[in-house]
Structure formats: structure tokens, C-alpha cells
């Protein structure tokens, strides 16, 4: 190899740390991964960490405190490429499912009461691209090993990673599953980015949308269809917003506004 190993940092904010764990779970490739890259900082994996200039920063989790925000901006400044890993960093995750609806202070009080929290001022969780420029997204809950390693391998080789842009339904058909949305189940496949290998529908379970929204989605048609199939609007909104982030929230708002006018 003539190319220099890229300097990499792996960071976690508000999330379950499942994406970082998935990186460590790449057992067969871990030696290659640590060999092909220079891992400067990865607190979950090692204690000897150095915070300096980075070629690539992988960031997991959403941002929900002033302290996190400060650190995120600081990482962005010293990283050439910022990659959001996991659905929380990419779209906000379940903790951001009410984003834009208001009432966050009340929800915060319900959980923490009137306790004075002095560590850092908290705010409603948001995806990292609400604050900094993100160069690439590797969504998933947690991320898929194969997708992650394929992307890293490309980055190490100085090439552009390629991730599927189509929805789960395509992979679901490759797995030869009958369409469970067609059969009347509440399946979020058409709105959800592929990459998981349609694992849930392959076991007869509907897609809950954990990979987050796909690039080109028709929320209004899915909403109408689910209503026709007998699901109540509250349930539809709740389920579609669980991993949908601001993008799905906005599209659902458009649907509701249209419905109110009609």
C-alpha cells in the first residue's frame, strides 16, 4: 500500500452505543480494520486516545446537550470527512420522534422532575446535521457490519462508498418475501432505506423503519393506504415518526394540512 492509513476517530453522543459496538463486533475484520486505518480516538474500544486532526470522524448518536454540541462542532473542525453512523446521528432516532411538535420542556419535566441538572444544559435531541455539515450517512439501528465495512474499505482505498438508496422493499423482494403491506399489515418498508437485508419481513415481521427514511419517499400515499387498511391516524403518525426524523415529520405535516383543507 502506498496510500497513507487514514486517521480515524469514532465518537458517540445520545444513543445506545450500539453502532460503536457493531464496529467492535466485526470480529473477523477487526485486525484488518485497525491495520488499514489509524484509529486515533475510540473511547469505547481503547484508553489511549489522541484528539487531533482526523481524516474521517464516525459519529454515533443524536445531539441533546450544550456540551455535546460543543464537542460535535470541535470534531467537525478537525475532521476532513464527517460520517453519521446509525439512525440517531442520521435522523435523530426515537428520542427525536416528536421533533418540531413542541412540548419538549413538559416531557423533560415528566422524566427529571424539578431536579437541578448542572452537568450541561439539555435540549430536544436532534440529528447531527442540524448543527454541522455531514458528508455521508450510514444509517441503521444498529448499522449493518457489511455496509459499514464496505464503506470503510472504499474510504481507505480513496474511493467513494456506495450505499443502497432504494427502500427495504427491493431487498425484501430479493429475499422472495410476499408483500406484507399488500396483505394488510402495517409495514414501513416503502419509506425506509434498504441496507438491513429486509431482515424483519424475512421473518414475517413488518418493517418498523429503523434504517430511517429513504431518499425518495411517498409518505402521503403510504399514509392513505394505511388509513384505508383500517389503521387509525394517531397510530400511523406515531409509528411512522418513530425513526422518521424531521423529514418524515414534515411530510406527515404536509399530509395533515392537505387533509384539513380537503
Partner 1 sequence: MILKMKKEDLSTFLDSVKEWGELRGPTKKEGRVTYSRVDSLSQMDLKAARTIIPPKKFLYPPRFTMFDYDQDGYTERLGDVPKRVLFGIHPCDIHGILIMDKLFLETYKDPYYAERREKTLLLGHSCIPDDKCMCIATNTDFVAEGFDLFFSDLKMFYLVWVGSTKGHDLIRLKPELFSRELDKNDILNYTEYRKWKNSQFKTKIDLTGMPDIFELGYGSPVWDQLGDKCLSCGQCTMVCPTCNCYNVVDEVELGALEGTRDRFWDSCMFREYSLVAGGHNFRDKRSDRLRLWYTHKLQAFIGEFGKPACVGCGRCVETCPVEINVVTVSTALKEQEVGK
Site of interaction with partner 1 (CB under 8 A): 1, 29, 32-33, 35-36, 149-150, 152-154, 156-157, 159, 162, 165-167, 169-170, 172-174, 176-179, 181-182, 189-191, 204, 215-218, 220-222, 225
- DSSP character string of 231-261: --HHHHHHHHHTTTHHHHHHHHHHHHHHHHH
Tell me the closest approach of the beta carbon of residue 36 to partner 1, in angstroms: 3
Tell me the closest approach of the beta carbon of residue 126 to partner 1, in angstroms: 26
Nearer of residues 65 and 177 to partner 1, judged by Cβ:
177
Tell me the closest approach of the beta carbon of residue 27 to partner 1, in angstroms: 14
* Closest-CA residue to 91 (of 241, 198, 217, 236): 241
Length of the chain: 262
Nearer of residues 72 and 138 to partner 1, judged by Cβ:
138
Calculate helix-pair angle for 219-228, 233-241, nearest 10 degrees: 140
Tell me the closest approach of the beta carbon of residue 78 to partner 1, in angstroms: 24
Tell me the closest approach of the beta carbon of residue 138 to partner 1, in angstroms: 15
Nearer of residues 59 and 187 to partner 1, judged by Cβ:
187
Q: What is the DSSP letter of 167?
A: B
Question: Torsion over CA of 171, 174, 178 and 183, rounded to 10 degrees?
Answer: 20
Nearer of residues 102 and 184 to partner 1, judged by Cβ:
184
**Cell 474500544, residue?**
45
Question: Are 212 and 56 a contacting pair, CB within 8 Å?
Answer: no
Nearer of residues 36 and 210 to partner 1, judged by Cβ:
36
Amino acid at each position: 500500500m502506498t496510500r497513507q492509513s487514514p486517521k480515524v476517530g469514532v465518537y458517540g453522543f445520545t444513543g445506545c452505543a450500539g453502532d460503536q459496538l457493531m464496529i467492535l463486533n466485526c470480529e473477523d475484520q477487526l485486525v484488518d480494520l485497525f491495520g488499514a486505518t489509524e484509529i486515533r480516538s475510540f473511547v469505547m474500544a481503547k484508553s489511549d486516545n489522541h484528539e487531533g486532526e482526523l481524516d474521517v470522524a464516525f459519529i454515533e448518536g443524536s445531539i441533546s446537550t450544550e456540551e455535546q454540541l460543543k464537542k460535535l462542532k470541535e470534531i467537525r473542525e478537525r475532521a476532513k470527512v464527517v460520517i453519521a453512523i446509525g439512525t440517531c446521528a442520521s435522523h435523530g432516532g426515537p428520542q427525536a420522534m416528536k421533533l418540531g411538535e413542541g412540548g419538549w420542556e413538559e416531557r423533560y419535566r415528566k422524566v427529571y422532575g424539578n431536579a437541578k441538572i448542572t452537568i450541561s444544559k439539555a435540549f430536544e435531541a436532534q440529528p447531527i446535521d442540524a448543527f454541522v455539515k455531514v458528508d455521508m450517512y450510514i444509517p441503521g439501528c444498529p448499522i449493518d457490519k457489511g455496509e459499514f465495512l464496505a464503506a470503510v474499505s472504499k474510504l481507505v482505498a480513496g474511493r467513494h462508498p456506495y450505499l443502497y438508496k432504494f427502500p427495504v422493499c427491493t431487498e425484501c423482494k430479493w429475499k422472495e418475501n410476499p408483500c406484507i403491506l399488500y396483505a394488510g399489515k402495517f409495514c414501513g418498508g416503502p419509506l425506509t432505506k434498504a441496507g438491513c437485508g429486509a431482515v424483519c419481513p424475512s421473518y414475517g415481521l413488518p418493517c418498523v423503519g429503523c434504517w430511517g427514511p429513504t431518499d425518495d419517499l411517498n409518505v402521503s400515499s403510504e399514509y392513505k393506504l394505511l388509513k384505508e387498511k383500517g389503521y387509525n391516524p394517531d397510530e400511523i403518525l406515531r409509528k411512522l415518526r418513530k425513526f422518521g426524523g424531521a423529514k418524515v415529520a414534515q411530510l406527515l405535516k404536509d399530509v395533515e394540512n392537505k387533509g384539513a383543507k380537503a
